[in-house]
Amino acid sequence: MHNVVTKSRDVTLLEILDRVLDKGVVISGDAVISVADVDLIYLGLKVLLSSVETMEKYRGAPITGPMQEPT
Amino acid sequence: MKLYLYGIIDSSNQINEPIYGLEGACVYNIPYCDIGAVVSEFTEPVQNNTEGNVLAHEEIIERLMEHFTVLPVRFQTIIDGRDNLLSIMQSYYKDFRNNLERFHNKIEFGIKVIWPSDKIKEHIINTYKKSSQKVSISDDSSNKRFMREKFEKHKLDEEFQAKADKFINVMDIFFSKFAAEKKLKKLKTEDLLLDAVYLVEKDKQDDFREAFEHIKGPHANFKFLFSGPWPAYNFVILPKNSDLLKDSRQEDLFDKVVQHQELVGAEKI
Amino acid sequence: MTLNSVVETDFPEEFVEEMEKSQDALPKKIDANPENVEKGLAKLVLTLIELIRKLLEKQAMRRVESGSLSEEQIENVGETLMKLENKMDELKGIFGLKDEELNLNLGPLGDLM
């Protein structure tokens, strides 16, 4: 059961990443600060997950979900 | 002050409901003329490509979609100050407006299809072996054997591509009926027969969905993926350089591209 | 998570696999390292040679199919194509280039090959 959920989540994340990392309005220029353009293109699931792991190590706690609403 | 940019919307009004974005910062609309740039203030060092941020970004875009037409902006686009943002809006105004008009009341759907490429190839080889149109090359030398192998591979490839075209055409005819624009990618991998996105009018989305269900039936050994609704990520047209805007010939090019896309959609119906 | 966008499929694993495979084919980093300028040049030259080689091969196949080649011609063309292919493999090996790297993206026109 867990595996099915994980894989469904993976495919959803990949669909989102495919759009959000490389499509839509792409503006570049001096006024635009963003993560190095070349790194953004197709970071892919694996790299993103390792970013999460790095963050977890740094913070010392697992990241459970997306942004929390401010209290 | 750094501004994280989520999208461009077809409104110069305030966002009335509270929406919280990355870092829990409030998301607001900076108007320019009759459109706006939706932003939130951003302080983090820019190396935070976490899954959470990506999902939060996408969620904001979807909230905006409920009330506005949205040009989604690429993840992690951060503008250095309000003045720079307004300058960007000025440079891209016409392009943004054109895109917003094209996307008004429309949403994007993605369809992916996996086919059993091994079985397809097997079938092609078997059919060819039985056919009377075989070209025979004698194999009495290594060069001739090389040619024969090359030729068989070439035939296989040709037939494989032709079958792919055939299946894609059949599917596309169904989907195109309800789509204003589309982009198709054939055989991104051997098994990934089709990776397609369609721009569909909101009031035609049920018909579109029905067409998808309908197509699945006769293709029992194919695998299908349906995603959406999305904002029109794949249909944004922007010149690479804002200077291009000043050249009127480039503006004509933009119109031509739009016309062509619509024509391509219409031809297949 | 309140995303409205839905991704529906009975085969999530298969699609993840195919999507990741198709990503691997993309060059991930533009390498501005000056030591690799040579490699960049080699890549460009070899890409063009590869294009020509593939066109020649295609032409040859069409001739074979139409039956307009004699046995002797098939023999000669075979030898030439085989040598060309071997030479290309050699050059790719020398410059450490893979097949997928020998391509050019022409923007809206898609890939060269």
For the segment C43-52, the average pLDDT, to the nearest whole number, is 88
Q: Do C9 and B151 touch (CB under 8 A)?
A: no
Q: Does the residue C16 lie in any domain? A: no
Q: Are C27 and A21 in contact (CB under 8 A)?
A: no
Percent of chain B at pLDDT above 90?
68
Q: Which residue of C has its CA nearest to B52?
A: C1
**Count of structural domains within chain C:** 1
Q: What is the pLDDT of residue B23?
A: 85
Total CB pairs under 8 A between chain B and C: 98
> Long-range contacts made by residues A49-55, C-beta under 8 angstroms, separation at least 24?
A49/B51, A51/B48, A51/B49, A51/B50, A51/B51, A52/B50, A52/B51, A52/B52, A55/B48, A55/B50
Using pLDDT thresholds of 50, 70 and 90, give the confidence band for residue B222.
very high
For the segment B238-247, the average pLDDT, to the nearest whole number, is 52
Q: What is the pLDDT of residue B52?
A: 78
Best mutation site among B225, B236, B240, B253 for testing chain C: the one with the most C CBs within 10 Å? B225
Q: Does the residue C102 lie in any domain? A: no
Q: Which amino acid, residue C49?
A: I
- For residue C93, pLDDT beyond 60: yes
What ranges in chain B are assigned the alpha helix state H? 51-65, 82-103, 117-130, 142-176, 205-216, 248-267
Closest CA to C77 of B72, B147, B70, B19: B147
Q: What is the pLDDT of residue B28?
A: 96
ipTM of the prediction: 0.78
Q: Which chains touch A (3 or more CB pairs under 8 A)?
A: B, C
What ranges in B131-247 are assigned the alpha helix state H? 142-176, 205-216
- For residue A67, pLDDT beyond 50: no
Question: Which conformational region is residue C31 in: left (phi greater than 0), alpha (psi within -120 to 50 degrees), or beta?
Answer: beta
Q: What is the pLDDT of residue A69?
A: 36
CATH number of B107-236: 3.30.70
In chain C, residues 30-89 whose CB comes closer than 8 Å to chain B: 57-58, 60-61, 64-65, 67, 71, 74-79, 81-82
Average pLDDT of chain C, as a whole number:
81
Strands B192-201 and B179-186: antiparallel
Q: Do B223 and C14 touch (CB under 8 A)?
A: yes
Residues B135-169 pLDDT 10s? 777 778 889 999 999 999 999 999 999 999 999 99
Using pLDDT thresholds of 50, 70 and 90, give the confidence band for residue A35.
low
Using pLDDT thresholds of 50, 70 and 90, give the confidence band for residue B264.
low
Using pLDDT thresholds of 50, 70 and 90, give the confidence band for residue C34.
low
**Strand pairing partners for B113?**
B194, B224
Q: What is the pLDDT of residue B140?
A: 85
Q: Are C108 and B260 in contact (CB under 8 A)?
A: no
Q: Do B62 and C3 touch (CB under 8 A)?
A: yes
Q: Does the residue C80 lie in any domain? A: yes
Q: Does the residue C110 lie in any domain? A: no
For C29, other C-beta atoms within 10 Å of its C-beta total 10
Using pLDDT thresholds of 50, 70 and 90, give the confidence band for residue A58.
very low
CA atoms within 13 A on the CB side of B61: 29
Using pLDDT thresholds of 50, 70 and 90, give the confidence band for residue A13.
confident
**Residue C49 class from Cβ within 10 Å (0-12 exposed, 13-18 middle, 19+ buried)?**
middle
Q: What is the pLDDT of residue C101?
A: 79
Q: Are B146 and C82 in contact (CB under 8 A)?
A: yes
Query: What is the C-alpha separation between C2 and A69, in angstroms, rounded?
Result: 13
Using pLDDT thresholds of 50, 70 and 90, give the confidence band for residue C33.
low
Query: In chain B, what are the domain boundaries?
Result: 2-104, 107-236
Residues B185-196 pLDDT 10s? 999 999 999 999
Q: Does the residue C50 lie in any domain? A: yes
For the segment B99-115, the average pLDDT, to the nearest whole number, is 96
Q: Are B137 and B148 in contact (CB under 8 A)?
A: yes
